[in-house]
Amino acid sequence: MCLTKGLVPVHGGVPGGLFGGVFTHGGAVADDAAWLRSMLAAEAGLARALERAGLVPAGAGAAVTEAALGPAGGFDPARFDLAELSLSSELTGNPVPGLARALTRAVGSPAGKAAVHRGATSQDIMDTAAMLLARDAIDAALADLTAVADAAARLAGTHRATLMIGRTLLQQAVPTTFGEVAAGWLAGLDSAREWLAFVRDTRLAVQFGGAAGTLASLGDAGARVKSLLAEELGLADPPLPWHTERLRVVDVSLAMARTCAVLSKVARDVTLLAQTEVGEVRSSTVPAVAILGCAKQAPGLLATLTAAAEQEHQRAAGAWHAEWQPYSQLLQLTVSASAWARDLLGNLQVDTAKMAANLASAGGAPLAERVTALLGPALGGPQAHDLVTVATGRAAASGIPLRDVLLAAPEIADKLSQAGITPGQVEQALDPATYLGVSAVFIDAALAAHQQG
């Protein structure tokens, strides 16, 4: 027997199904149960708003809320038949009509029954539920991302002077520090957190417009009910319904995709630094690989949701429906990636000795540009470049450090002597600890911004 639940089939009642251990790490936030709870919360909030507006008798809101969410909010999804709701979706194009009927049956009082779904269209409930889902997903992601950013900050501070090879185009470049690498992670993580918090605080709004965005069935009370519904659910009260203005969905999706992109960067760096041949960090391979598995799905999902934002007139024909699954998946994958990142950076081991050994094994080649700059004023830029290029080639071919090639080859040593450049100056130019530029300044800036955030 297979019961569809959430993003993937659930076999034998296992949350998230066969792949749930990877893609619902940190908890399921957008599966069938989460959607059901959010839709019922929207229906319950509407009933309370209608009561506050004087459109239904006293007690109707409480009756609907208890029937929807259980006593004291003890929600139990088993009280509603998901198979029945799925069938109703096939018949009506979405699960809300079936849910409204099931909720009406569950409400005990006649007054409460009259308050169920009054004035609303299915999209009002689904879109409002989508905003509630986003809030829960953002809160879950932020909790983990805060821990991830704090871990990155600790790494940046601890390893501010830990020398390592910098790499550009996957090739060795000038030296850097692992502290600056971690500070780069930190800056991205803090930016992702900032955007998520901004979307949560400013872009999550109630949806309530009725069949064509006019709330005509509620007469003059429509705008007041909309405002009261926003209060009941803790969502923003938009100026008007946004049935076919989908930038709120796009904004949520973009914030999630940005978060996945930042986490993907961290995970990819770790996988490269942890390669057997590099060995500069150690970590279980599972978290980094799982983050990449989650994050690589985000761009396609965002593209689908952006494409679906073109919606016709007052209510869309299909584009709205196209949002549900990619939106759910993007929320879930972002939460999962964030939870995996907490595991990754929280347990990351840095091998400073291996970093030093890899830097030393380069034989000074990463500092060739500094030697060129040293020789340039005396020899001229082109001649200095050519001399260092020859020396670097000899060092690479022979395995002899660049310092020794520069000081031992007669024709090179003569030119250095003629230019008044001493062996001490050459050795200083090849000292990676003295060629870090303003790395420490950048690390301090990232840490300060993190603390202020």
- Which DSSP letter does residue 1 get? -
Residue 178 CB contacts under 8 Å (≥ 6 apart), including other chains: 155, 159, 162, 164, 280, 350, 352, 355
User: DSSP string covering 176-203, please?
Assistant: EEHHHHHHHHHHHHHHHHHHHHHHHHHT
Q: How much is the pLDDT for 73? A: 66
What is the per-residue pLDDT for 77?
87
Strands 8-11 and 2-5: antiparallel
Phi-psi sector, 74: left (phi>0), alpha (psi -120 to 50), beta: beta
Least confident piece of the model among 43-52, 90-99, 157-166, 395-404: 395-404
1-15, 51-65, 141-155, 437-451, range with the lowest pLDDT: 1-15
Query: Tokens 């009725």 sit at which residue?
Result: 210
Candidates 1.10.40, 1.10.3470, 1.25.40, 1.10.760; CATH matching 365-429 = 1.10.40
Q: Which amino acid is at 305?
A: L
For 29, the token pair is 């936030």
Report the pLDDT value the prediction gives residue 11, as an integer from 0 to 100: 34
DSSP characters over 209-278:
-TTTTS-GGGGGGHHHHHHHHHHHHT-B--SS--TT--HHHHHHHHHHHHHHHHHHHHHHHHHHHTSTTT
Q: Is 200 a catalytic residue?
A: no
439 has catalytic annotation: no
Out of 38, 283, 328, 336, the active site residue is 283
The top-level CATH class assigned to 122-216+242-355 is mainly alpha
Task: Choose, from 101, 154, 315, 394, the residue flagged as catalytic.
Answer: 315
Beta bridge partners of 10: 3
Distances 368 to 22, 402, 405, 420 between C-alpha atoms, Å? 44, 8, 12, 19
Dist CA 447 CA 35 (whole Å) = 38
**Average pLDDT of 441-446?**
98
Residue spans of the domains in the chain: they are: 122-216+242-355, 365-429
Cα separation, 411 vs 387, whole angstroms: 10
Nearest to 85 by CA among 144, 151, 129, 142: 129
Q: Does position 18 have pLDDT exceeding 80, yes or no?
A: yes
Burial of 137 (0-12, 13-18, 19+ CB in 10 A): buried
* pLDDT value of position 16: 75
This prediction has a pTM of 0.92
Domain pair 122-216+242-355 / 365-429, same fold: no
Residue 433 half-sphere exposure, CB side, CA atoms within 13 Å?
Answer: 5
In this structure, of 180-189, 279-288, 421-430, the range with the lowest mean pLDDT score is 421-430
Task: Check residue 5 and give its pLDDT.
Answer: 35
